[in-house]
Amino acid sequence: MDFAICAALSLLETAALFQSQYVHSDSISRSFFSLLALQYLAIKAYNIFIYPFYRSPLRHLPGPKDGHFLLGQEYKLYKANGPHELQLSWMRQWPDAPFIRYLSIANKEILLVNSLQAHREVLQTKCYEFEKPEFFRRIIGEIVGVGLLFAEGEEHKKQRRLLNGPFSFGNVKKLQVVFNAKAQELTATLAKKASSNPDEPIEVSKIFSKATLDIIGLVVLGVELNSLSSSSSFAECYGRILNQSPVGQAISALNMFLPVRKWLPLKANRDFVKANQEVRRLLREAIRERKREILEEEKTKSQFTVEGGRDLLTFMIYEKSQGENPWTDEDILGHPAASS
């Protein structure tokens, strides 16, 4: 937006200078680009070095003041031992503050929601006044897709209504059988590892991730992934996506602000892209298989019904197929419920 405004102003200013004969015809382009560069740099300097510290209405909120002059807290967040280590330390330092303000790259202001009342306003009572930032859409959207997670206003309300049925208390209660079965399998897996090496610590984060992925596969896709008991393409791909190398993490951080993902030929970036493409291929197969099953059942029955025990993907496909604007495969693929 800043660049477009500067370009429009530079064009008008160059035209005015040419009309007043301050600029000759052979130097119009040079004058235009000089004005564009000066004005764009001036706006960026103001936004980075003046506004956050002297003009922002949020500048008086509590928060860390020891950030880098250009990177804010991003370098410290990158070097932290865990993804939320710094945020938790700030929350302990200012426990009574509803919001904590810290600066990111180019001194961009970020608010950390720090109280129940603040969470209620952001997520419920005033949720449509807090739109998701574009950089968040870029980094999260390429993993879980777009849809309910990033929808705003009326579109968000429509998509929420679609999921009210499968996420009702009665239907969620029916999933207790799935949760219990996976809990027993998880317990057996941990017991086996503990008995094989009694003195060795057990790394449980990957095991818990596999158990979660198995539950999502059954509940959302209606597919038994068996990630806990054997290797799974889903688990392997999500492992490469979520557990990136330091170079991959740096690329993801850069991609939040500049869409460079498709241009970088680095191995870490290629691994991420290939894993993401493989997940989407597997999801497309599940979507097509579920559509085929629905069509076959509709042919053999007078009226197809989605029972409470059916997976979420079946419910989504069937409900939208009954409306005026049925979802395409890409629409469903981009929905976070299907790509979670």
Report CA 296 to chain centroid distance, whole Å. Answer: 35
Structure tokens at 30: 């040079």
pTM above threshold 0.75? no
pLDDT tier for residue 236 given thresholds of 50, 70 and 90: confident
Specify which of 31-35, 181-185, 332-336 reaches the highest per-range mean pLDDT: 181-185
Q: Tell me: the pLDDT tens digits for 46-55?
A: 999 999 999 9
If one compares 183 and 335, the residue with the highest pLDDT of the two is 183
Domains of the chain: 1-55 (no CATH), 60-130 (no CATH), 164-339 (1.10.630.10)
Q: Tell me: the pLDDT tens digits for 64-91?
A: 999 999 999 988 988 888 778 899 999 9
The residue among 223, 246, 245, 247 whose CA lies nearest residue 235 is 223
pLDDT tier for residue 308 given thresholds of 50, 70 and 90: very low
Q: Tell me: the pLDDT tens digits for 8-28?
A: 888 888 788 777 766 666 677
Q: Tell me: the pLDDT tens digits for 163-182?
A: 777 777 777 787 888 889 88
Task: Count how many residues are written for the chain.
Answer: 340
**Mean of pLDDT values over 243-262:** 84
Is residue 289 pLDDT above 80, yes or no?
yes
If one compares 43 and 199, the residue with the highest pLDDT of the two is 43
| DSSP string for residues in 44-98 | HHIIIIIIIIII-TTTTS------BTTTBTHHHHHHSSSTTHHHHHHHHHSTT-S
Report CA 54 to chain centroid distance, whole Å. Answer: 31
Structure tokens at 218: 């059954």
Distance separating alpha carbons of residues 284 and 221, to the nearest angstrom? 11
The residue among 260, 214, 261 whose CA lies nearest residue 238 is 214
